[in-house]
Amino acid sequence: MGASSRGELPRLDWNGRDESMAALEDARASTRPGFHVAESFSESRPTGSVYQGDNLHVMSHLWRRGERFQLIYADPPFFVGRNFRQKSRIKLPSGQVVPIQLDAYEDHWNRDEATYLSMILPRLVMMRDLLADTGVVCLHADQRMIGYLRALLDEIFGRDRFRNEIIWNYAQGSAPSNRFPCKHDTILVYIKGRDAPFNTAAARLPFTPHAHDKRGKNYGGTMGVDGDGREYVEKWGTGKKKKYRYYLDEGKACPDVWTDIQSIQSAAGERTGYPTQKPLLLLERLISVYTNPGDSVGDFFAGSGTTAVSAQNLGRKWTVSDASSQAIHQIRRRLLSGSIPYRALRSDEDPIPPLSGRAVLRDNSMEVCNYTPDANFCRQLGVDPGDDHVNLIDIMTVDTNPARDDECHRVAAHWCRKTPDESPRTNPPAGKHGALPSVFATDLSGRRVSLAVTTD
């Protein structure tokens, strides 16, 4: 800890701290190229934006543009010490369907806490600066780095801006023999100004009867029904000086230990296969409590895109970003499958060109015929680059009226793979003046594929 004078909070210090803050100032004053809208999925103005790129670059870009958020949720790497992979399945040329694992994101940091802290510090400062005056940040972590992160947030926001330490308790996970099993994550909540929204009605929980009551009617107090037919339970307060009435249909206040939301189960409909995916119910509770309809929500470690989907479900505007091409791929896939409007933005200095392939338009049906995957991707999967690899295509999008004056690909029809043996095929609407559509695909690695279209 750094030295402090009387009345000041102690400060975390480490080798590389000054350089990390210099990186923040460089990002603020950066003259790096910005971002352009590469894809749009909506007939009307989209409510959400998906940025691909380093989140410090993305956040500084948004800050310079004057964007501000009512809520920023952050689920950064947990300092686990390994890399994470996306699970999927492919069909081999032999017809056999096999499971595969695809690189998603790195979380090793050479097992050096200083390296991790140098990454996270400027990003936490940038999040604070992106908040509206009444804004809230929710930082999600586990036991590995939570102590360091709370000290940083106290320094960045001020200790008086701390609001909650939410314990998200879940049942899944291993049970080691030499210590108590870790069955919770922590969400630290800080506010930027002196006040922030807190919609208590959005986090009410149902009353639960005592376990020993077979009728399910004993709620630990005196039961009754008022003149309007509403059931209630009355309980004495501390010292039995006052009796309180609680109506069952209003539920009870949600505490800071959340036991009613489980982690993603293997059979869950929302499961994407992306590692460390968080459940919709968790994000929907945070967004409902700390924002109002129409407010803006940000997530710059977006992963599988749960924040985007939750915010859309609740009528909030949203902006998400991730540096991982696999994460961006899963977010787009999730939004397209759910018919959620969005615009995808890519850096003007994007160095990765799309792969090439071919699609055929026949009888109003667009189908991918072939494409040439990246050789390293083939080696990772253990497949022959010379084989037919159309089965590696995971998303196809069609712009039936490609504009000639910008780079935006406006999605009029799309296809997302549901089973390993499904052919990439869709039925796009007719384009104007008989022009051939613009067609892009994305393979399982998250790499874009530009498809040349023929009519036979």
Rg, C-alpha atoms of the chain: 25
Token readout for 248 is 């069952």
Q: Is residue 10 part of a domain?
A: no
Total count of residues recorded for the chain: 456
Average the pLDDT over 78-88 and give the result. 90
Sign (positive or negative) of CA dihedral 326, 332, 334, 337: negative
Q: Is residue 378 part of a domain?
A: yes
Q: How confident is the model at residue 1 (pLDDT cuts 50, 70, 90)?
A: very low
Residues 239 and 99 in one domain: no
Q: Is residue 8 part of a domain?
A: no
Q: Is residue 284 part of a domain?
A: yes
Distance CA 293, CA 289 (A): 11
The winner for highest mean pLDDT among 41-45, 83-87, 391-395 is: 391-395
Residues 243 and 163 in one domain: no
What is the pTM for the complete model shown? Answer: 0.92
Q: Give the pLDDT of residue 6.
A: 43
Q: Give the pLDDT of residue 433.
A: 57
Q: Give the pLDDT of residue 110.
A: 86
Residues 274 and 336 in one domain: yes
Distance CA 122, CA 20 (A): 6
Residues 95 and 191 in one domain: yes
Residues 80 and 188 in one domain: yes
DSSP 373: -
Distance CA 204, CA 352 (A): 47
Q: Is residue 408 part of a domain?
A: yes
Containing H/E element for 187? strand 184-191
Residues 190 and 297 in one domain: yes
Residues 339 and 430 in one domain: no
Residues 36 and 152 in one domain: yes
- 415 closest CA partner among 449, 385, 386, 381: 449
Token readout for 184 is 């919770």
Residues 397 and 290 in one domain: no
Distance CA 159, CA 152 (A): 10
Is the pLDDT at 3 greater than 50? The verdict is: no
pLDDT in tens, 317-335: 999 999 999 999 999 999 9
* The domain boundary residue, chosen from 316, 347, 378: 347
Sign (positive or negative) of CA dihedral 261, 267, 269, 271: positive
3-state secondary structure of 96: coil
Distance CA 35, CA 52 (A): 9
Write down the residue that tokens 């005592």 correspond to: 210
Average the pLDDT over 178-200 and give the result. 94
Residues 360 and 411 in one domain: yes
CATH number at residue 90: 3.40.50.150
Q: How confident is the model at residue 315 (pLDDT cuts 50, 70, 90)?
A: very high
Domain hosting residue 172, numbered range:
17-201+257-347
Q: Is residue 304 part of a domain?
A: yes
Average the pLDDT over 222-247 and give the result. 85
Number of structural domains (the chain) is: 3
Q: CB of 426 within 8 A of CB of 396?
A: yes
* The domain boundary residue, chosen from 331, 347, 363: 347
Q: Is residue 6 part of a domain?
A: no
Write down the residue that tokens 């129409």 correspond to: 294
Q: Is residue 11 part of a domain?
A: no
Distance CA 446, CA 103 (A): 10
pLDDT in tens, 339-389: 999 999 998 887 788 999 999 998 889 999 989 899 889 888 888 877 778
Distance CA 310, CA 279 (A): 9
pLDDT in tens, 132-173: 999 999 999 999 999 999 999 999 999 999 999 999 999 776
- 35 closest CA partner among 390, 350, 387: 350
Q: Which residues contact 35 (CB under 8 A, 6 or more apart)?
A: 51, 53, 58, 61, 345, 346, 347, 348
* The domain boundary residue, chosen from 324, 347, 370: 347
Is the pLDDT at 174 greater than 80? The verdict is: no
Sign (positive or negative) of CA dihedral 77, 78, 81, 83: negative
Query: What residue type is assigned to position 174 of the chain?
Result: S
Residues 153 and 53 in one domain: yes
Residues 167 and 61 in one domain: yes
Q: Which residue has the higher pLDDT, 390 or 32?
A: 390
